[in-house]
Amino acid sequence: ELKVEQNPLFLSMQEGKNYTIYCNYSTTSDRLYWYRQDPGKSLESLFVLLSNGAVKQEGRLMASLDTKARLSTLHITAAVHDLSATYFCAVEWNRDDKIIFGKGTRLHILP
């Protein structure tokens, strides 16, 4: 059974600080996704990581994938209040299969 675990589940941090969210999954995967969700809103796709060693960056967010360790990280650099949201990682297990989400990391950035 494919399991996806994120940690931490809650994170409160000061503006300007750096932090990392971790996503572990239990079996080999074709793709790993990172999504952002604002309260009461739908999911916004941030990154799709396809291969071992993949690294993608957008603004203050950088995602990486280590398929051997079954680990992805979402790194936040010099956090700003606008990044406050819930971040989900999701893993696709084999092509054409369902996508399993983690429980999400609720990020609160204090001004």
Partner 1 sequence: DAGVTQSPTHLIKTRGQQVTLRCSPKSGHDTVSWYQQALGQGPQFIFQYYEEEERQRGNFPDRFSGHQFPNYSSELNVNALLLGDSALYLCASSLAQITQYFGPGTRLTVL
Q: Which residues in this chain contact partner 1 in the complex, by CB under 8 A?
A: 33, 35, 41-45, 48, 88, 90, 92, 95-104
Determine contact, residues 35/44, Cβ cutoff 8 Å: yes
Please, which residue, 3 or 17, has the CB nearer to partner 1? Answer: 3
Determine contact, residues 3/92, Cβ cutoff 8 Å: no
Please, which residue, 18 or 27, has the CB nearer to partner 1? Answer: 27
d(CA 22, CA 12): 15
As measured in angstroms, the least distance from the Cβ of 89 to partner 1 is 9
d(CA 20, CA 31): 20
Please, which residue, 22 or 77, has the CB nearer to partner 1? Answer: 22
As measured in angstroms, the least distance from the Cβ of 78 to partner 1 is 27
List the structure tokens of 62: 């950088």
As measured in angstroms, the least distance from the Cβ of 100 to partner 1 is 7
